[in-house]
Amino acid sequence: MDQRFGKEEKLKSKKQIDRLFVEGKSLKSFPLKLVYTPIHITEGSNLKTGVSVPKKLVKTAVRRNRIKRLMREVFRKNKYLVNSQLSSPHAFMFIYISREEITYEKLEKSMIKILEKFSEIH
């Protein structure tokens, strides 16, 4: 089981991110929201993923960066839940929608729940 979260798996393309927010569908499991859409890529990973913590909800950069690090780590550990079941490449964006900081355990529960919801749909 590959648990890396390398450069080829990160969502960086401005075009793909814009398309994701225009055409994407979403799922929620508090305090996370997943926005996803199928993408067309020729090489690299089957899954492109980004994380976001709005400045409006979490004011200090230190707290925002910590939450983003936790979100990336939890996704890295649990991406096997969707990676094996994907028939076509997808772009994911995880958005943190709470004002309070969260523990690793609660974030992991929420991430697993949202990834299982996605697996049921696809």
User: Partners of 112 in the beta sheet?
Assistant: none
pLDDT 10s digits, 60-79: 999 999 999 999 999 999 98
Q: Does domain 7-121 have CATH number 3.30.70.100?
A: no
pLDDT 10s digits, 46-56: 889 999 999 99
pLDDT 10s digits, 92-111: 999 999 999 999 999 999 99
Per-domain boundaries in the chain: 7-121
Q: Check: CB of residue 104 under 8 Å from CB of residue 74.
A: yes
Of 68, 119, 53, 70, the C-alpha closest to 90 is: 119
Lowest mean pLDDT among 15-19, 62-66, 74-78, 85-89: 85-89
* One-letter identity of residue 15: K
Tokens (6 digits) for 48: 């492109």
Distant-in-sequence, close-in-space partners of 4: CB < 8 Å, separation ≥ 6: 76
End-to-end alpha carbon distance in the chain? 21
Residue 53 is given by DSSP the state: -
pLDDT 10s digits, 21-48: 999 999 999 999 999 999 887 666 788 9
pTM attached to this predicted model: 0.91
Residue 43 pLDDT: 67
Residue recorded with tokens 């649990």 = 78
Say whether pLDDT at 1 is over 80: no
Element containing residue 28 per DSSP (H, E): strand 25-29
